[in-house]
Structure 1
Amino acid sequence: MLLISILLLSACTGLENDSQKEDLDGGNNIINRALMPDEATSVFSEDKKVYERDDDSSLKTLYITVLPNEDAGEPFDWYALNRQPEKADSKKLPILVQEGYSDENGPSSGMFGYGTTNKNATIELRGNTAWYLQQKSFRIKLNEEAGLYLDQRTINLNKHSNDFSRIKNKLSFDLMEQIPNITSLRTQFIHLYVKDLSTGLKDAPYEDYGLFTHVEQPNKMFLKSHMLDPNAYLYKVTFFEFNRYEEKIKEETDPNFNKENFESILEIKGREEHGKLIKMLEDVNNLSLPIEEIMNEHFDEDNFLTWVAINILMDNMDTDANNFYLYSPINSNKWYFLPWDYDGGWEQQRRTNNIRSYQNGISNFWGQILANRYFRKEGNVEKLKAKVEELHTQYINKDTIEAQLKSYQEIVEPFLYRQPDINFLPNNVLNYNEELNIILQTPEESIKRFYEDIEKPKPYYMDEVEDLGGKLKFTWEISFDLQDDELFYDFTISKNLDFTDIVYEQKDLTVNFIEIDKLPAGKYYWKSGVRDHKGNRQDAFDFVLDEEDKSRDGIREFEVK
């Protein structure tokens, strides 16, 4: 029986080989082929090995020579570039970029740009708030002929003048290098020297501009370097809360498409086709579609949770409507959050009183319709808790932060005690170790705020006051409580922002409106703070700026005529 089985098997094998030969001769039988999947899928996977060439604790030195403006009819030099009044009118100057050592001896043989005599790049101011600071930040764009520096063509020189530590942005991205489900950006400490020949001088000495931090620019080259889709959709958020924005976000083929209007919401950094983005926004804003379907169809849940958890742990609250990118591979329906700009994190905004009262934990993202819908589900809040604890345990904690800070110390500290940086520090240099200790404590403090915020009602918007003739009607959105606690609103009207001259008050309202008799003509302020029965309080999103441009949260102004 065994012999017969072997002979039969051999015969079958022979038939199979004959069939293969027949196929090679033009037969119709397909012997070897890949299986067709049920649907096209693209997996989000960054090449983390790209960071192995990124030495977190090194210092590079650049010597740049600023050349005369190439537009001879328009007087514009290095001095003028550094004092431009408006970002919208930003101009560039040609420069020569070369590399050397921090010894004031200029470019060094064998290093980038050595021996070059003609321009190989342009320079311009960069940043938003940084634009108006005394110490500027710069963007250098290398020419094609210049080649790449650090495998990149764009060099972002960030001064971080408001950051006493000088390392918050770099620390954030260095920590993110190892975190799965999210991208990071390559960073580099850079010592900058500038020779100004822009007025036509034949020669001049190099001037020491101190310490800068280069952060990789998310662009098509970034996508290629990180093994992401170079043909992808990529948008930099200007001010974006996942609303539909029908008047501005339009198809590029729409006759009413206006790129300037579009980019007031999202800057286009990838494909200039927007139907895929519009479909996602329409679904996010379609309240008849379950949020679970939307998340599964258009987003990667792990990526979204990781992005939110990182921002919570690093206390980077200026991420609710800006400071991130949206990325989507061409052959995927998914959109991914990519991080950008963390110099406001690590308690920075809190210590400079540049943060709103609701900006903690989930409440920080409550004005964003995607996060608002997603975190109304108790199970999704539990997922975020788990992600925060996971990232804190493995990646963002005292041990990992301390290791990074120690690696930076020998590079950063000398610049704090020397010109020009010592002239512009926001604090006494003797308090530097205290600043680093605050950074070390940030994840633990952030976790406390995160859990405290879960207990609080969520922020909401107040409406315009309605004049009903003899009455005034005040309305506001209904707050939401994650524990489904009963909520109470405390309504107050005052003649001043300090609410020391109260003209009307009604506590313990359980509805989101109130009508009162019309007040005498004049200017007033009102608020409707919410609390639960346990005393957890929350302000509205609304705010008023006082005479010193300080935010007075949860307040609206109105006038009776």
Structure 2
Amino acid sequence: MTQSDEILTYNLFINPKDLQDLRSDIWCDDPVRGVLNFNKKKYDIDIVYRGAHTRKLKKKSYHINFYKPKFFMGSKELHLNAEFRDPSIMRNKLSLDFFSDIGVLSPKSQHVFVNINGKQEGVYLQLESVDERFLQKRSCPEGTIFYAVDGDANFSLVSDLDKEVKKSLSLGYELKYGSNEAMGYLENFIYKVNTLSHDDFEKEIDTFLNVPNYLKWLAGVVFTQNYDGFVHNYALYRNNQTGQFEVIPWDYDGTWGRDVNGKIMESNYVRIEGFNTLTARLLAKPVYRMQYRDLVKSILNNKFTVENMQPKIEKLHHQLRPFVLKDPYKKEDINQFDMEPEFILQFINKRRSYIYDRLDKLL
């Protein structure tokens, strides 16, 4: 997927009967056939709803697979997120771009305008899939990719969902790319995270984990304040050359001062140390805690500032506004949309103050 400042328009066509079938059961994961017309070219596609609780919302999100031709803008699949509960429609993109800016592997994203059978469906965020193509585009070594799909992906022996001991250490993960035997590497990694002694943890964790990547990812979750990000909303990439796992962010609409339902999330909601078992074990070691502190200070000074973020926010708002006015699900909320840039900038200032005041907790 190529990055573009332009808001592209996608014209989708689905047989009315197939569209009725799709809408009759929002929980069905069986795709229907369709066509995407773009730039005077026709693409045969499979299309299905995506997401969990978001499927109940008026404006649906979609997952598209391409089969003739097999690739579209260098990708074999697209995720089209409705961003329905985010009044700015920009939090997800701001977050993923922020992660990239601080040195974390992150999916590219861009806003598009979608029509289905000639009817305007509105503004969507097109998300790059984290798969083998994701690695190839970045010249990353071959590896295995897992998706963290629920709260069991908490790097713990105990479920985050029912607080019971897990029956399998691979619970919470879905293999996206790679061989099934790779699950053994994942299970061994989680086992080691939880069972290595205090002294052995520091000696051995580098064998399994790209620690600098993890600390940058942790900082990104903390700054954007994605409360759910510590136990899911990420992908795991195991680099076959190093044997280390790296974390890749995913689905970050509940950020920058609002939760996944669009409700205000106070700027002190997520602590500077973050959460989950792996994070706790890393920050229990002075060497990693100081690395994290130095990283947080650097991001505070250079990246997570109004001066850095304001031009990006205002540019995106300006680009989106004409299309939001055509979005049948969003145009009535244009006043709220227009207030969001200032809301996000205020959040940045408040969150900066909160984090700065708690840097000493990392000494």
TM class by shorter chain equals: 0.7 to 0.9
What's 2:31 paired with?
92
C-alpha distance 438-386 of structure 1, shift in aligned 2 (>3 A): farther
C-alpha distance 443-189 of structure 1, shift in aligned 2 (>3 A): same
1:281-292 alignment runs, 5 A limit: 281-290=190-199, 291-292=201-202
C-alpha distance 91-350 of structure 1, shift in aligned 2 (>3 A): closer
The alpha-carbon deviation at position 321 of structure 1 amounts to 0.5
What's 1:377 paired with?
285
CA distance in 2, matches of 1:177, 1:406: 19
Where is the helix percentage greater, Structure 1 or Structure 2?
2
Tell me, yes or no, if the aligned pair for 2:111 and 2:123 is still in contact at 8 Å: yes
Alignment pair present for 1:211 and 2:160: no
C-alpha distance 357-62 of structure 1, shift in aligned 2 (>3 A): closer
Deviates more, 1:264-273 or 1:444-453: 444-453
What's 1:233 paired with?
144
Please give the root-mean-square deviation of Cα atoms over the aligned residues, in Å.
Answer: 2.7
1:417 to 325, 349, 353: 325
2:184 to 275, 288, 291: 275
Identity across the alignment (%): 20
1:354-365 alignment runs, 5 A limit: 359-362=269-272, 364-365=274-275
CA distance in 2, matches of 1:386, 1:433: 36
What's 1:402 paired with?
310
The alpha-carbon deviation at position 158 of structure 1 amounts to 0.8
Tell me, yes or no, if the aligned pair for 1:82 and 1:136 is still in contact at 8 Å: no
Tell me, yes or no, if the aligned pair for 1:141 and 1:155 is still in contact at 8 Å: yes
The alpha-carbon deviation at position 432 of structure 1 amounts to 3.0
- Alignment TM-score, normalising by the size of structure 1: 0.58
CA distance in 1, matches of 2:255, 2:134: 24
SS at 1:421 equivalent: coil
Tell me, yes or no, if the aligned pair for 1:314 and 1:442 is still in contact at 8 Å: no
2:98 to 143, 156, 175: 175
The alpha-carbon deviation at position 267 of structure 1 amounts to 0.7
Q: Deviations over 1:92-136 (max 9, x none)?
A: 110011115xxxxxxxxxx332xxxxx711100011232111100
2:113 to 181, 191, 203: 191
CA distance in 2, matches of 1:405, 1:83: 38
Compare relative contact order (CA 8 Å, sep 6+) and give the higher one, 1 or 2: 2
- Alignment TM-score, normalising by the size of structure 2: 0.87
Tell me, yes or no, if the aligned pair for 2:233 and 2:249 is still in contact at 8 Å: yes
C-alpha distance 376-436 of structure 1, shift in aligned 2 (>3 A): same
C-alpha distance 324-419 of structure 1, shift in aligned 2 (>3 A): closer
Q: Deviations over 1:340-384 (max 9, x none)?
A: 11101111119955869994124541xx21111222234433322
What letter is aligned with 1:123?
I
What's 2:160 paired with?
none
CA distance in 2, matches of 1:282, 1:184: 26
1:16-95 alignment runs, 5 A limit: 53-55=2-4, 57-67=5-15, 77-86=18-27, 89-95=28-34
SS at 1:333 equivalent: coil
Tell me, yes or no, if the aligned pair for 2:123 and 2:323 is still in contact at 8 Å: yes
SS at 2:11 equivalent: strand
Alignment pair present for 1:445 and 2:350: yes
C-alpha distance 375-185 of structure 1, shift in aligned 2 (>3 A): same
CA distance in 2, matches of 1:419, 1:265: 35
Alignment pair present for 1:242 and 2:155: yes
Tell me, yes or no, if the aligned pair for 2:257 and 2:265 is still in contact at 8 Å: no
Tell me, yes or no, if the aligned pair for 1:358 and 1:364 is still in contact at 8 Å: no
C-alpha distance 442-292 of structure 1, shift in aligned 2 (>3 A): farther
Tell me, yes or no, if the aligned pair for 1:283 and 1:289 is still in contact at 8 Å: no
Tell me, yes or no, if the aligned pair for 2:12 and 2:37 is still in contact at 8 Å: yes
What's 1:436 paired with?
341
What letter is aligned with 1:377?
K
SS at 1:285 equivalent: helix
